[in-house]
Amino acid sequence: MDNIEKLQEIIDESKNIVFFGGAGVSTESGIKDFRGDNGLYKEKYDYEPEYLLSTKCFFYEPKIFFHFYKSKMNCLDAKPNITHKYLTKLEKKGKLKAIITQNIDGLHQKAGSKNVLEIHGTIHRNHCIKCNKSYSADFIFNTKNIPKCSCGGVIKPDVILYGEMLPDDFSIAQDYIRKADTLIVAGTSLTVEPASSLVRIFSGQNLVIINKDNTPYDKYATLVIRENLVNVFSKLD
């Protein structure tokens, strides 16, 4: 039995699956990851990327923040790939109880998934920091310079920036993982805290890790698959 057949067997026998995904889930949709060989963090900038995506940059140098954000985070034209579509199918079967994602692109919802916990926020929600009025991602990305509300306040993307607390979705994600019999982790190096700490609270039967590179949690996994995600999920029923 090969690894993908083993994964299919685990899925077939599981009743409460949680999926935890990182940037690798969306790279096949044309969205760059952060720390990969061709990731955003490998490009040359005038500032450190961590600063460009920080609360400090947003509040003190919003022009610099939005120049980077609008040029690098705009994935409105991206479409769900096989991984997103497979997870939607698994959710409809009643086996997949929650998708926990580090991605901010909204592709799981575009694919039709319902219970998606976005622990790093999303580009699709934006609010005025002065009056809290909501704005679409289209408004942000199509506004020249700094996007401003009708009241004059700056509009902030509901993306978790460096220096911010994680959203309520993070504690909800913990609850789902505690109850899961199978946790499938895919497309993430599991090196970014506190997101990667979610794996440590899993105590169910099967921990499956699907990633092209090693992760610090491979030694705890029931099954490790080092393949492109599309190659894996395209072969599952």
Give the integer Cα–Cα distance in Å for 147 and 143: 6
Residue 24: burial class (beta carbons within 10 Å; 0-12, 13-18, 19+): buried
Let me know if 127 is a catalytic residue.
Answer: no
Instruction: Say which of 67, 84, 108, 120 is annotated catalytic.
Output: 120
> Which of 184, 157, 153 has its CA nearest to residue 87?
184
String of DSSP letters for 137-195: HHHHHHSSSS-B-TTSPBEEEEE--BTS---HHHHHHHHHHHH-SEEEEES--S-STTG
| Beta-carbon count within 10 A of 224 CB | 18
> Which of 233, 198, 220 has its CA nearest to residue 101?
198
Give the integer Cα–Cα distance in Å for 61 and 43: 21
Catalytic site residues?
120
